[in-house]
Structure 1
Amino acid sequence: MASYKGGAITAEEVLRESQRLPPTLRARFEQGTGREEFIRAMVDKRLLALEAERQGFTQDPEIRRQVRELEERLTIQALLAREEKSAGAPTDEEARVHYQAHIERFAQPERLRIARILVEVPPGSPHTAWTQAQQRAEALRRRVVTGEPVAKVAESGDGPERSRGGELGLLARGEFGSAALEKAALALTRPGEATPVIEQPAGAVVLVLLERLAPRVPPFEEVREAVLGQMAPMLQRRAFEQVLARLRKEASIELSSAGAPAGASADVDTVAQH
């Protein structure tokens, strides 16, 4: 992709370097002048590195120390990753045992599928604007109450949810963003039932109940992936402890009195894992 006195930039290197960029920034440098600019920046970086090496900075004791520490961290990570991989994934039986032991983590509270109809009021608007918004919201509410489909009524609202039929999705207690909205929503009992107009910072709001789901504990099969996700840190810890126990046994470790102060009670495994 580019050459310079002392080296070259390959397509593989450009690809690898570009993959480190955030997706939005990466698109800018994928083609045309942006790609050329990116490659020139890589060449500049190489020239600076070569000059630093020529001037002897690669032999600086502090830099060498930091390089050794980085290499140590990377190689330890690779070792532990291999140990975790060789240990294998937990069996279904192990996952089921974990699920039963922590079943409260997977319990789902009562949830409400809610639609919102919002009539926006810009910040700083006069009282008359609020009055008009409440009147408009009440008119939209009456359309719902008289049986007009919620999705059609929501199209006349102002919120971003209008493009998806007003739906906000499933919400549990504590997820409504407002005590007033939560109280009004929880009072709804029948699908299609609407709250009174509620004044909120964004404007006048009407909530409509689409569905009410009772609390439940999903079966293991439904949450299997979540169970495995919760087990991952435990399995990583187990692999870490096993390899460390083996290495300690083989190393014949001896601490001098200066290295083991009386009364020390640090969690050595926690420090080592960090």
Structure 2
Amino acid sequence: MARFRGGTITREEMQREALRLPPTLREQFESTVGQREFLLSMVDKRLMVEEARRRGIAQRPEIARQVRELEERLIVQALLAEEERAAGRASEAELRAWYDSHKADFAQPERVRLGRVLAAVPAGGTAAERTRARARAEEFARRLRTEPLAKVQALGDGPERAKNGELGLFARGELKDRRLEDAAFALLKPGQISPVVETAEGYAVLQLIERKEARTPSFEEVRSDVEGRLGPVRQRKVFDALRSQLRSAADVQVEVSARP
């Protein structure tokens, strides 16, 4: 793909180097012009390496130390990867045992999916403005008893208007306003409407879209999550076992003198 005095760059080398680039940057080098620029950048790097070697920079103690440290890291990573492959994947019994001992981590609290129609009050609003906002909210509540949320929310002021009135799914403690939370969790059946609630933003009416009771998902539901969480635990076990084996075989002894 490229030649220069003292070396060449093959297609395989170019492709390997390109794979190291982020996908968005890699796209820039797909055209003929882009490939030419990429190959020139690779040639430039080779030329600079050769120039550094000619000047003896590669033999400097600090460079040699960094090369040695990088080599050690790569070798250790390869060793641990080999040990992990030899250990194999977690068995079904191991996955289930880990799930059973960590069930509390998967527990889902009671949650409610809410719709809201808000009659906002400007910051520092007057008593008259608050009265008008409350009257609007009372009208929203009345209309919600006979009309769909998607229609009534168009008259409100909150950001939920962009989502057909849906405010979101919340567990206790996730709604910023305690008054809104109390009103939300008092709703028991989908479609039920709350009384008008005074909030920091103004006056709101809530509608319960869905209620999700507290539950713990079964192992089958979260199996892939369990496998993902157990992975680092097993990696640590592999590391600890290998370290213990090597220390024992090497008869390691460490002596630390107390400072005078």
TM-score by length of 1: 0.72
Query: Equivalences for 1:1-274 in 2 at 5 Å?
Result: 1-31=1-31, 33=33, 36-116=36-116, 127=125, 134=133, 138=137, 141-142=140-141, 145-154=144-153, 164-167=163-166, 169-179=168-178, 181-194=180-193, 196=196, 207-255=206-254, 259-261=255-257
User: Residue type matched to 1:104 in 2?
Assistant: A
User: Residue type matched to 1:242 in 2?
Assistant: A
In the aligned structure 2, how far is the partner of 1:30 from the partner of 1:12? 15
- Secondary structure in 1 matching 2:220: helix
In the aligned structure 1, how far is the partner of 2:34 from the partner of 2:42? 13
Identity %: 48
- Secondary structure in 2 matching 1:171: strand
Report the CA distance between 1:36 and its aligned residue.
4.6
User: Residue type matched to 2:220 in 1?
Assistant: E
Task: Spell out, residue by residue over 1:58-99, the C-alpha distance to the aligned partner (whole angstroms, 9 max, x if none).
Answer: 111111111111111111111111111211122211222222
Task: Spell out, residue by residue over 1:179-200, the C-alpha distance to the aligned partner (whole angstroms, 9 max, x if none).
Answer: 4543443333332234546656
> What count of residue pairs does the alignment treat as equivalent?
255
Report the CA distance between 1:10 and its aligned residue.
4.1
Consecutive unaligned residues in structure 1, runs of 5 or more: 263-274
Report the CA distance between 1:166 and its aligned residue.
4.3
User: Residue type matched to 1:209 in 2?
Assistant: L
In the aligned structure 1, how far is the partner of 2:13 from the partner of 2:157? 48
Larger radius of gyration, structure 1 or 2? 2
In the aligned structure 1, how far is the partner of 2:139 from the partner of 2:159? 16
In the aligned structure 1, how far is the partner of 2:241 from the partner of 2:7? 45
| Contact 2:117 2:204 (C-alpha < 8 Å) held by counterparts | yes
User: Residue type matched to 2:212 in 1?
Assistant: L
User: What is the aligned partner in structure 2 of residue 270 from structure 1?
Assistant: none
| Contact 2:118 2:137 (C-alpha < 8 Å) held by counterparts | no
- Cα 1:254–1:44, aligned 2, differ >3 Å: closer, same or farther? same
- Cα 1:22–1:188, aligned 2, differ >3 Å: closer, same or farther? farther
Consecutive unaligned residues in structure 2, runs of 5 or more: none
| Contact 1:191 1:212 (C-alpha < 8 Å) held by counterparts | yes
- Cα 1:59–1:233, aligned 2, differ >3 Å: closer, same or farther? same
Report the CA distance between 1:157 and its aligned residue.
6.5
